Amino acid sequence: MSEASEERRRRAALLVWRYGGLEGEALLAPLIEREFRGRIALLTSFGAESALLLDMVARIDRATPVIFLDTGKLFGETLRYRDMLTARLGLGDVRSIAPDPAEIARRDADGTLWHRNADACCRLRKVEPLQRALDGFEAVISGRKRYQGGARRDLAAIEPGADIVRVNPLWSYDRERIERAAAARRLPPHPLEAEGFLSIGCMPCTDRVAPGEDRRAGRWRGLDKSECGIHPAHLVEAAR
């Protein structure tokens, strides 16, 4: 292990010791204002449940960079929701990151890669653009929660990584708590939630959720796939 890597490992362990039991704005504030000042970004889909975390970050520092992966396959409602929340919360640095046009032309010229190979499509349209967007940052904030299940069941507040620290302020929140907090802050839901879309990503790979189904059941329905690859432990390795 290099000296720089060892130093990052020691610092990450200290952050876990200091802040690993916190959540919400209590976790975000010291990381945004002190520990990673100017070197931390929020990753958001502007999808279902996104508004609460965006509001938390805005209340601490509206200039915090917000990274939004505009894959070219999103619902129009999501793009309009992004614009509305950006204005409403006063977010000062929303970065809409698109895939490389040359790579799209080379690897998905007809736009149907999602149908032929969903993992390859996510890698092209999400993983690789995110790696470029996070260059220069030391930490990234995500909206994942334990209650979402699957690979997220054992999620920690802070996840040390080889290249970047991942922060999950809502790790301990359940759906009811998110709904109460969003209502108390008068935050508007994503417009597609009312139509049964409870976890919203790219249009071809997002389906409505039937009553009683898991909230993420509509993502990549019919495929043995539950994550797009941008979260640990895939973020660093998936695009190599």
Query: What's the Cα-to-Cα distance from 169 to each of 92, 156, 179, 184, 194, rounded to whole Å?
Result: 21, 9, 16, 18, 26
Is residue 148 exposed (0-12), middle (13-18) or buried (19+ Cβ within 10 Å)? buried
Angle between helices 76-89 and 50-60 in degrees, nearest 10? 30
Q: Which is the catalytic residue, given 121, 202, 205, 228?
A: 228
Query: How far is it, in rounded angstroms, from Cα 121 to Cα 202?
Result: 11
Contacts (Cβ under 8 Å, ≥6 apart) of 189: 48, 51, 182
Q: Is residue 228 flagged as an active site residue?
A: yes
Query: How far is it, in rounded angstroms, from Cα 18 to Cα 1?
Result: 24
Catalytic residue numbers read 228
